[in-house]
Structure 1
Amino acid sequence: MECTSSQAFDSDEDERCLPVESYNQNDFTDDKLSKSVDLYISEDDKITEKYAGNSASSGNAIEPHIGMEFDSRDEAREFYVAYGRRTGFTVRIHHNRRSRINNTVIGQDFVCSKEGFREKKYVCRNDRVLPPPPITREGCPAMLRVALRDGVKWVVTKFVKDHNHSLMSPSKVPWRGSGKNLINEDEKDQRIRELTIELYNERQRCKRRCAAYQEQLHVVLTFVEEHVEHLSRSVQDMVQRIRGLENEPLDGSDWDQ
């Protein structure tokens, strides 16, 4: 009995002496976040290094300047987004300008996300149940304007560097504002054209279906009218026969006379 209890006690001691590994879930989250941040930074480096030779630098951020050229509007957008990340602000797509000849986009403005002010109709609401969200727009004038030149290059025609608010630390700039998630105007125009064509085709199909239904309804109404007319003639014939029978003398009355 003593040996058994001793063996059991030794077994418990062995189990308590086993090394227990503990994993912190935050370690994995921080590691993934660190890898994502490093990935974005490397992408920003690739974008900015392309223009490092022709642009003046301010710290780690290569500043745009008037006359700076880009191969596409998306490239200008990605460059300004990368510049905003390294400077401490996020970017929003603003107004664009279109050609009067073919309606293509020939100019684009990129602004700080704090540009403009919130409209009064969203601030002064009598039917509001929850408190209004915090003000995020402060009328910041910082912006970048590019224009299409000779139908090939996108050239910076206006650049406002100064902000009217304090900038964030580059490490605190939200990564959700990635330039790859911004709306592409060309793709949006293409989608609008596709939806317009789809809507037109659907209207044509509806017209054809309505015409077919109208024709079928006309056939049914014609059949109903013919049937009603046939019933009317049948009723008239029956009425005439009944009247004829009423006017005929009875055989019994003739025999009595």
Structure 2
Amino acid sequence: MEGGDGGRQFLDSDGGSDDETFESFHEHNYSVEDDMPLQHCNFVNDGLISMEPSTGMSFQSLDDARDFYYEYAKRTGFTIRTNRIRHSLKNMAIIGRDFVCSREGFRAAKHTLRKDRVLPPRPITREGCKAMIRLAARDEGRWIVTKFIREHNHKLMAHCKFPGELPIINILSEVEKDKKIQDLYDELQRERERSAAFQQQLCMILKDLEEHAEYISE
């Protein structure tokens, strides 16, 4: 589901994300306990647009969970961005993701203290806000809310103060992102195999040269 009116102006793409890798979903610290009461949700049919996030919420896909938090942020008065992504070491599939308030964290000093800066720095928007939602994948393909922080440390924006007509940003769905990651992982494996083959051929050539040199010197 694509969120809302004329593009995701409430989804802040600035700041990137932190990637982590784990052997399995159960490895990371915020895994879902088996006895956690789950609330299975359908973003469209269950009328989730008017609901607040809560731990134990279960979504059919990561896209549904992202759209739900996007709509909640838009209704509440803040923008969001992806902060942390967790990958499986086995196949690099995404098994965990955090969506945070766009004012989470602080701008890195390397960006504010650059000596080669030509233009003045952008206004500081990071204020260390802790508001966020953490999602984790389950074996059956659903995504579970394992952590939700409601409180913001800054004033929320009124809906009328949001930009009205921002250009539509081409944001890939989570499935598309996952596929791109898998394609890159497969390409990396192929390059490693080719590199190993070249190294083996080089060793054989060097060995032949060494034997030939010994033969000539006799």
TM-score (ref. length: structure 2)? 0.59
The separation in 2 between residues aligned to 1:107 and 1:92, in whole angstroms, is 15
- Aligned with residue 112 of structure 1, among 86, 101, 111: 101
Q: 2:159 aligns with which of 147, 152, 170?
A: 170
Normalized per residue, which structure has more helix?
Answer: 1
> Match of 1:187, as an amino acid?
E
Shift of 1:39: 10
Greater share of strand: 2
Q: Tell me, yes or no, if structure 1 residue 77 matches structure 2 residue 66.
A: yes
Give the residue type in structure 2 aligned to 1:157.
T
Q: Distance in 2 between matches of 1:131 and 1:198?
A: 40
- CA gap of 1:39–1:191, structure 2 versus 1, over 3 A, is closer
Which segments of 5 or more consecutive residues in structure 2 lack a partner in the other structure?
9-41, 195-218
1:146 pairs with 2:141: no
| Structure of higher RCO (CA pairs closer than 8 Å, 6+ residues apart) | 2
- TM-score for both structures, normalised by structure 1: 0.51
Query: Greater Rg, structure 1 or structure 2?
Result: 1
Give the Å deviation of 1:181.
4.4
Q: CA deviation at 1:67?
A: 0.7
In structure 2, how many angstroms separate the alpha carbons of the residues matched to 1:177 and 1:160?
30
Please provide the CA RMSD for this pair.
3.5
Aligned to 1:130: 119
**Residue 85 of structure 1 aligns to a residue in which SS?**
helix
1:113 corresponds to which letter in structure 2?
A: S
Cα contact 2:61–2:142 (8 A) shared by 1: yes
Residue correspondence of structure 1 range 1-257 to structure 2 within 5 A:
37=5, 47=43, 50-52=46-48, 61-174=50-163, 176=166, 181-194=170-183
Structure 1 position 112, deviation (Å): 0.7
Partner SS state of residue 165, structure 1: coil
Gaps of 5+ in 1: 1-35, 41-45, 53-59, 205-257
Equivalent position SS for 1:151: coil
Q: How many residues align?
A: 158
Q: Judge conservation of contact 1:146–1:157 (CA < 8 Å) in 2.
A: yes
